[in-house]
């Protein structure tokens, strides 16, 4: 179900004079929800109300270069380090002294892992959704593209919304025996996804090539962790999530959603959300 946002829930702050657009809902223990590449805080429109109803405070932001947050004009400024610094300082600006639950999808999952490694005392638990933690998770064709610095990507910023919408619709389309056809993602999700692609800075596509290899550090993560993924992910290799599961010392649960792709939290929230809420009850 689409979330209706209240004006009082939307906030903005400045980190080093760079705007951070974010949403806060609910009262209780803090949960930080972080979206993936070319997405926005609207990624969590289905999970956020469930968290608030269960007695948590959910915080979700537009990462640097995304949504309504700051977008540097110089594309060389788009690295994992700059995005992480923006993210890290925003978390500190919330002034929540207690350890937080980190929920991250794709790039947001990678940032959540990095935050837990750098600030283990600040993280109570992790929920990782199709996490992007190593460049080799990408198909070889995408690896070759992302490993090159993309300085001239103005064509992306000039691309009209209908082109992005066509791409989103086609990747969401499912074919069935008997000529029955449908979309995995609801209409409002496809609309928002294409809008997020359109309004993101084209410089964000430089971020993946700067992703550090944290695989050797995973053994230091002792926070309770839940791992969820869509088994039809065409962006990140599903086998990489099983590999990650074997490296996490305190994995409390792992679940794949068989018919979902890269965004299981949006594909079937009625299945996804109970996995998260049941995990949180065990903490």
- 272 found inside a domain: yes
Residue 124, pLDDT score: 98
Which of 44, 56, 57, 34 shows the shortest CA–CA distance to 114? 34
- 149 found inside a domain: yes
Q: Structurally, how many domains does the chain consist of?
A: 1
- 252 found inside a domain: yes
**Gap between the Cα atoms of 247 and 263, Å rounded:** 23
- 47 found inside a domain: yes
Residue 194, pLDDT score: 87
Residue 244 lies in domain = 8-281
pTM for this structure? 0.90
**Gap between the Cα atoms of 164 and 156, Å rounded:** 10
**Gap between the Cα atoms of 207 and 260, Å rounded:** 25
Q: Is 176 left (phi over 0), alpha (psi -120 to 50) or beta?
A: beta
Token pair listed for 212: 């550090």
Q: What CATH number is attached to the domain comprising 101?
A: 3.40.50.1820
Which of 42, 25, 27, 10 shows the shortest CA–CA distance to 189? 42
Residue 214, pLDDT score: 95
Residue 191, pLDDT score: 86
- 213 found inside a domain: yes
Residue 185, pLDDT score: 82
In the block, tokens 């700051």 appear at: 70
Q: Report whether 82 contacts 207 (CB < 8 A).
A: no
- 3 found inside a domain: no
Taken in order 93, 96, 100, 104, is the CA torsion positive or negative? negative
Averaged in consecutive runs of 10 residues, what is the pLDDT profile of the chain (283 residues)? 59 92 97 97 96 98 97 92 97 97 98 98 98 94 75 58 56 49 74 89 92 94 98 94 97 95 94 98 97
Residue 141, pLDDT score: 84
- 65 found inside a domain: yes
Residue 8, pLDDT score: 63
- 2 found inside a domain: no
Residue 3, pLDDT score: 46
Residue 145, pLDDT score: 77
Secondary structure (3-state) at 192: helix
């Amino acid at each position: 179900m689409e979330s209706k946002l209240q004006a009082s829930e939307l906030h903005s702050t400045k980190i080093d004079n760079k705007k951070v657009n974010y949403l806060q809902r609910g009262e209780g223990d803090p949960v930080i929800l972080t979206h993936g590449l070319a997405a926005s805080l609207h990624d969590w429109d289905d999970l956020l109300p469930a968290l608030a109803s269960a007695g948590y405070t959910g915080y979700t932001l537009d990462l640097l270069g995304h949504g309504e947050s700051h977008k540097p004009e110089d594309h060389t400024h788009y690295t994992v380090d700059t995005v992480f610094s923006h993210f890290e300082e925003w978390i500190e600006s919330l002034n929540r002294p207690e350890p937080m639950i980190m929920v991250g999808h794709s790039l947001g999952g990678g940032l959540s892992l990095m935050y837990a490694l750098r600030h283990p005392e600040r993280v109570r638990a992790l929920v990782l959704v199709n996490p992007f933690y190593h460049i080799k998770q990408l198909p070889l064709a995408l690896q070759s593209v992302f490993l090159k610095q993309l300085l001239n990507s103005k064509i992306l910023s000039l691309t009209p919304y209908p082109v992005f919408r066509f791409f989103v619709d086609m990747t969401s389309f499912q074919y069935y025996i008997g000529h029955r056809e449908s979309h995995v993602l609801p209409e409002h999700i496809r609309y928002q996804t294409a809008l997020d692609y359109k309004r993101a800075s084209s410089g964000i596509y430089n971020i993946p090539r700067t992703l550090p290899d944290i695989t050797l550090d995973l053994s230091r993560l002792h926070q309770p962790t839940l791992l969820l993924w869509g088994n039809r992910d065409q962006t990140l290799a599903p086998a990489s999530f099983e590999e990650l599961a074997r490296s996490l010392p305190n994995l409390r649960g792992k679940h794949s959603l068989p018919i979902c792709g890269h965004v299981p939290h949006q594909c079937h929230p009625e299945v996804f959300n109970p996995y998260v809420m049941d995990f949180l009850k065990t903490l």
